Structure 1
Amino acid sequence: MRFRTKQMLIFSLLMALICIAFLVFSLGFYKNRMVDEAEYRRSSLAMHLHKDIINMIYAEDVLQLTATLRSICKDVTYIDYIFIIGDDGHLLTHTFDTGFPSELFNVNLLPADKTSSSRHLLTSKGRIRDFAIRTARHMQGEIHVGMNEEVFYKQINDFVKITIIITIVCLALGLFLVYVISGYLSKPLKNLYLGMKKIEKGDLQYRLEEKGDYEVLNLLQGYNRMTESILDSTTRLKQAKEKIEKLNSVLYAIRSINKLITMEKDRDRLLQGACDNLAGARSLYSAWITLLDESGAFVKFAQAGFGEDFLPIKEMLNQGELPACGRIALKQPDVVVTEDPASNCTNCSLKDRYGDRGSIAVRLEHGGNVYGLLTVTVPKDVIIEKEEMNLLKESAGDIAIALHGIELEKKQKQAEEALQNSEERLARAIEGNSIPTFIIDKNHTITHWNKSCENLTGIPALEMVGTKKHSLAFYPEERPVLADLIAGEASEEEIEGYYKDSKLNKSGLIEGAYEDENFFPNLGEKGKWLFFTASPLKNRQGEVTGAIETIQDITEKRNTEDQLRQAQKMEAIGALAGGIAHDFNNLLTSIIGNAQLALNDISKDDSLREQIEEIKKAGERSASLTRQLLAFSRKQVIKPEVLD
């Protein structure tokens, strides 16, 4: 209706404007035509009268002239008067009943240079148009015809009114016809409009009756096809919306599980929380998780949405049995879908509970390790959704990762406790060791500095542990000690570069260990000889985490060895001296004996006696020196004594 009204209004306004324009043009044209025609008739009448009147004037038949003029005024309604002025300028005759108005005589006289004129005059009868014409061009007489314009225009106005009324009636009739025709033409559009309103209100089942002309029929058929398409699209959108809502519900449950995974470190609470979140999803009815050990034996379970109905399953698990879907799921990495558990799961005590539900089972797997099984019950129309199965598989993987993390954390905690116990035992062993020992970590920070090391260096452990100044305990300036080089995994060339002038050797007992001995003048009052061994400390992966260095004070040992070496040296010298002394003593015995025999054979005054005595004395002095050498070789001190 609204469409038709708008269409009709526009068309009606257009028709009204056209009719009004035509009416205005017609009335203006008619009025001008009427005026022109009146002027023409009046002029023609005056000209026509002119001939007859001239003849009557010449015949001086005034009575007949007056009667003729009155007859003309009576026949022509809009002619108000006729009067004639003779050549002498006097009134010849007129048609006034009550006498000729004097104002007309003077006002309407023609100028001498004109033969006709037309003027408006106001008289007692109203507005008059006076038309004057000469009786002859060479005569001064005038014929005046007065036309009452109010009567004339009244006729015109009456005609105009009738014309307007007829136009309005025609316009109303035209509008009515437009209304009827537009109603007929717009009825299919009205039905189409109502159909659109139905669609707007959500009624997609409404269909239009397909009838009418070719164009209208195509329009109606197009509307019905469009409605069917919208209905189909709406149905698919609704299904997609429901699907998205279900997936969002599962996603929200998985998100909650992931949040739980990041926060919960207790295995049992993690499994129960995962079941609660899955069972709370819109498209999932219930969920249960069973945890298995490496041999496949039952360890722990959690469930949500079953209540006491799950007790038979618990008994089955305790007996080492699994439902059919669970056994199949443990053998393959993919999701196992059971659309009709009541028929397929013969040994499952929950088969009567499922009804119109199905089940989805997937194993909890990470890194090749299977930790257990996740099973959920879902509507049968959801089972076929791949997205749903992928999300559940992803959630199972996340739970498996969390279980793996909890297992690793448990093992790490046990390892840390074992390491702590080991470190405590190591600390006690090192602290109670009589050998000076210190340990540094990978960053060359001292972690252990035992009591023996304190006694050796004179620096307490409180000043050393946690620092990197262990080299200053042995050297006058900071430099890497053997433990630093090993902890830093220095090459053999680098290590030898720091210990060029020492007895550096690789340890034959420990791989990667070195040993050396050197004199450290800064230790003690006179310095100390130290024998030190440094070896790497490694973790289970074989990575170097630090180094341990043991130190032995070998000062006394070195002094004893020096004394022994001196004694051995002196013994060797004594043996050499003894051998020389024996040989030399034999020679001296011969020299002294021969000298004595020579002295016995010569006299006291002989010149050679003095030289021979010098030879004997020298021999005796040499014999005394030989006896001293023999005494040194025996390590004996000879003290000659006078007996008598």
Structure 2
Amino acid sequence: MAEAIKVLLVSLPDALREQVRCFLDGVGFQPALPAVDNLDVLREALSREPVDLVLSFDAPDQIPAEQVIESVQERLLDVPIVVIADSLGGARSVALMQAGAQDCLLRTELARLGLVARREIEARRARAERRQFLENTLHLNRVLRAIRNVNQLIVREKDPDRLIDGACHLLVETRGYLGAWIALGGLDGVPERFACRGWPDQVMESQRKVVRERWPECGRRLFGEAGGLISLTPAKDCPGCPLAGGYGQSHSVVVAMRHQERWMGALGVAFPAGATYDAEEESLLREVAGDIAFALDDINAQRARAEREEIDRRFQVFFDGAPIGKSMTGLDGRLLRVNPALCRMLGRTAGELERLTWKDITHPDDMAESEECVRALLSGEADRWEMNKRYLAKSGKIVQAHVTTSLMRNREGEPQFFLTHIVDQTERVELEARLTQADRLASTGMLAAGVAHEINNPLSFVLFNLENISDMLSRCVERIQQIRHILVEKLGNDQATRLFEQRRDLLDAFDFGVARDNVREALDGAQRIKEIVRGLKAFSRVDAGKPEPIAVEDAIRSALTLCRNELKYRARVVADFAATSPVLASEGRLSQVFLNLLINAAHAIPEGNVAGNKVLLRTWQERGTVCVEVSDTGCGMPKEVFARLFEPFFTTKPKGVGSGLGLHISKNIIQECGGTIKVESEVGKGTRFLIRLPAFAGETRPGPKDTVQQPEKRGPAGRVFIVDDEPGIRKILTRLLCEHQVVAAGSGLEAKALLEADADFDVILCDLMMQDFSGVDLHRWLRQERPDLARRLIFMTGGVFTPAARDYLDSVDNLRLEKPIDAATLKQIVADRIVISRSRQAM
């Protein structure tokens, strides 16, 4: 089949046209032979449509062959040119060939035209194929270079914004696109990220502004495109899009960016005007879009992993580094994870705890509320649960804690595990309990002190009156005996005997003797009341902060006085006190220790067998240590119990009977005194507590208990001033000291007024605590006005001190007498002070 070709005839004579057609037909061509005869028409013909061959007739009166060759060349056309002439010299042929003609033929050689045409057209076709091959190779290289550059960017760039901006830049730079843009995010909102390159800055800024408000129209159209690619001319296809103006008449392709069928965004490029794209270009765009989507997904995955790792790290720091206990508990109750603080709190390793359930470490009394917590959280009745809870440490110690528990759920709302925060409040609860106990003891002490004070005043004049009545009755018995003796001497024995029988109601001393004995029994009872009051006063000073040298025996006696009723129906109390040095302590606090031990001993012995049971109180000294033993023959304790005996809140007594703090507080008191307390016990045989306290080696200061009764010595009469707001005390003291000149005042202010008028007294007996103007106020005033008289003042107290009064008494050397005061002792002290006063006056 003949090959159709187009041959442009330039200035060729008509006579040669048919020859040309004939010769071209002869070599298999079917030529079209348009003809031109001037240069303008030639140029128009060359611009209008392509030609395969140009035949130019070179003659003086025709278009010069050089101009024909120049017209073809200036249009960069690869079209073979054959020059035909009637005559051609060698030089002319060479010049034309050098100008660009492929061959030169004489009219007489026209028969060669077919072969020349075939040769040149085939050569042209070969050159075109080669150019296409080179262009294809170059295009492929550019495609591969674009893919390589994008992939290199993907490998090194982990920031999404820099990645998409760099990809746009490489596509424009490597492929020569007019512009490129990438938008990321779902179409249900505005793009999360956007980058564009290639267009003028003003156009790109406009693009960014639009994309901040909505997705480009092409992106929305692409989302519904099954093939994931659309090709369009924005100026024509997207008339309503604000971005269309930036494209001009250029063509655009938009590709979906997907990874594992998941939409991630869109990639769009704009081709230069007149350029088109082919399958390889489409493949390039799809591959680049897929690679970027993969890279973005990997970046997101890495960021998600990093965020999860950071969350895990922070959680680990939050969980493991927390100063409070934390636990993760499974729905089956097993401890999944615990932190070091909880391990320390419960004295177990993480491995040990993670083999247990929450029930294994919960105090039995808190089990019900803990189960209610689990139920409420699982049912959704509560989001979190707070409670005070007791845990059991490995040692058996009870750990007091405040617990907050939450139920952690997954995204679907299904329960996963319980997260519990555990604040150890053992020390705080112990401190609160100790403060409550101390407050209770202080309140009880204040009550005891008040009771003691109120009892002491009436007890004082009861004792004074009973002693006076006893003395008077004794003197009555003596006088009756003297009268009987005188009557026997005067009347004789027989007459005196008859007289005694007749007037038995007057001369028989029997009734007076019985009355005297009754009074002495009442006096013994009052003395017992005095000892009980003394014990109450010691107990009232449990909060005394300043230790002083005391005899441990006194503290034991005070405690024994208060709990005697607990013991007397259970056991015999045996006291074996050896001579010991004083110890430095608060008598009230030390009495509290012995009171706790004695009450525990009483509770360890059942009632009903007093003769068969014994509580032993023994003291002795080992060099510089005072030792006290408190033992009983009660039920005893197993080793696992007495090993924990001093732990706070540990008790074997029924709920509500004991707080579990008594022995713990006792141990602390002993340790504050520098001592130790140990316990030995055997089930069925009893318990023995051994207390060891350092002996006090310093000098003891004389106090109210240093005054002892001595034989009464008569001395000179003196002037005594009594100050007391209790009328009964003033009367009995006035009567007791009747051999002296006694002046009495019923208040501190009255005493001050009397002393301002008359200060000539040998002794002042002054009550410490009085309303308005106390004994301390009076003494302080005397120290300023009459220091010599202030030294003669003796304080009397019923046992109640304010802190200020106690501090003041500690700062002065005045003697202090505690009510009820022994009558003989008081008389002797007053007599001695009068002697001292008179001797100083004589000097």
Same fold by TM-score greater than 0.5? no
- Larger helix proportion, structure 1 or 2? 1
Query: If you compute each CA radius of gyration, which structure gives the higher value, 1 or 2?
Result: 1
Sort the TM-score into its range (normalised by shorter chain).
Answer: 0.3 to 0.5
- What TM-score results when the alignment is normalised by the length of structure 1? 0.35
- What TM-score results when the alignment is normalised by the length of structure 2? 0.28
